[in-house]
Structure 1
Amino acid sequence: MTIDEIIDYLAAFEGVLTLRPGPGDGSPELSWGDSFFYYAPGGAVPARTQPFATIVTKNYPGDELSQLDRPGSFRLNISAGPDAFRKWTGHTPRDANSVQDDPSARDTVVAHPVYGTAGWLAVVDPGARTAEAVQELLATAHGRARARSERKR
């Protein structure tokens, strides 16, 4: 899967706002080239809300284990929640630090190397092996974000 394929897939979901920071938009340079997905049916980033998925195209300080400095690599991060996290890792998010996944493995669903304890999963360079899982996980994350939004209203 490419970054554009993931963005197009999520664009079909109701209420998805995609942010793609770049030069001139006031965003920090470090975020340029990355993508952030929110449930925002009003078209504005909701206050005090994290994205339900992100795509990062480079290593961030303190988040280098996925080795995104490899040419063309990116990582899809998904707020999967405790049930999906347990299904994919065999652990609860609280135990994410004991998960022995290789965070640099390509086309493999793993605990997020930094935010696993919050129920986030990650896939470096998603491809044929994880395409179905990625779609399922993104649909779950979108549904969770929509439900949170509706509870707040």
Structure 2
Amino acid sequence: MDQAELLAHLRHLYPGAEFLEHGGTVFVMYDPDGRLPPERKQPFVTVVPDDAHDQVSNLSRPGVYRLNMGVRPETYRAHFGPHPRSGADGLVDTEHDFTVLDTLLPHPMYAPMSWVCVLSPSEATVATLRPLLDEAYTVAVRRHAQAGKPRGAAGTLPG
């Protein structure tokens, strides 16, 4: 599945999502009513086509891109065990080969925040990723709902 096909598929799956492109990277966010200011919007999926943010995945290879998804911490741990720490260079050392194609991996930089990724996923892999994509979307929907609620006295969200 090439990047354009993946983005068309994501648009079909999540019609309420906002797709913003900046510098080639596509940020998929949930803000259906447009009430969040830009600095409060957070992507639940990103699609990165190049090595502008890091070189560890070697995205400069022809046709290679990285699909990134933010999942719940429990889901991350179920797939990869404890969250890694970021090194001095911002990268994680999980002993994974971050250049392998069509395989679920921890994100090379954002694994500590429960992000996972796949380089150039096939159509079959995208189908198996559907629960993770749906989870990332659900997390974004909940975050959006909480963003409109007043904060408690201690600066935390109620409930």
Name the SS for the 2:69 alignment partner.
strand
Partner of residue 146, structure 2: 151
Distance (whole Å) between structure 2 residues aligned to residue 7 and residue 92 of structure 1: 30
Aligned structure 1 segments of 4 or more residues deviating by more than 6 angstroms: none
How many residue pairs end up in the alignment? 141
Equivalent position to 1:115, from 76, 97, 110: 110
Q: CA RMSD in A?
A: 2.1
Equivalent position amino acid for 1:93 in 2: H
| Structure 1 gaps, min length 5 | 22-30
The alpha-carbon distance between structure 1 residues 151 and 5, as it changes in their structure 2 partners (threshold 3 A), is same
Partner of residue 71, structure 2: 80
Q: CA contact under 8 A between 2:29 and 2:45: conserved in structure 1?
A: yes
Equivalent position amino acid for 1:51 in 2: P
Q: CA contact under 8 A between 1:93 and 1:119: conserved in structure 2?
A: yes
| 1:11-90 correspondence to structure 2 within 5 Å | 11-12=11-12, 13-21=14-22, 31=23, 33-43=24-34, 46=37, 47-61=39-53, 63-89=54-80
Name the SS for the 1:20 alignment partner.
strand
Name the SS for the 1:76 alignment partner.
strand
Name the SS for the 2:116 alignment partner.
strand
Name the SS for the 2:108 alignment partner.
coil
Q: Using the TM superposition, name which of 73-82 and 125-134 deviates more.
A: 125-134
Distance (whole Å) between structure 2 residues aligned to residue 149 and residue 92 of structure 1: 27
Shift of 1:80: 1.4
The alpha-carbon distance between structure 1 residues 129 and 10, as it changes in their structure 2 partners (threshold 3 A), is closer
* Greater gyration radius: 2
| Structure 2 gaps, min length 5 | 87-91, 149-159
Equivalent position to 1:93, from 66, 83, 95: 83
TM-score by length of 2: 0.78
The alpha-carbon distance between structure 1 residues 45 and 64, as it changes in their structure 2 partners (threshold 3 A), is farther
The alpha-carbon distance between structure 1 residues 18 and 44, as it changes in their structure 2 partners (threshold 3 A), is farther
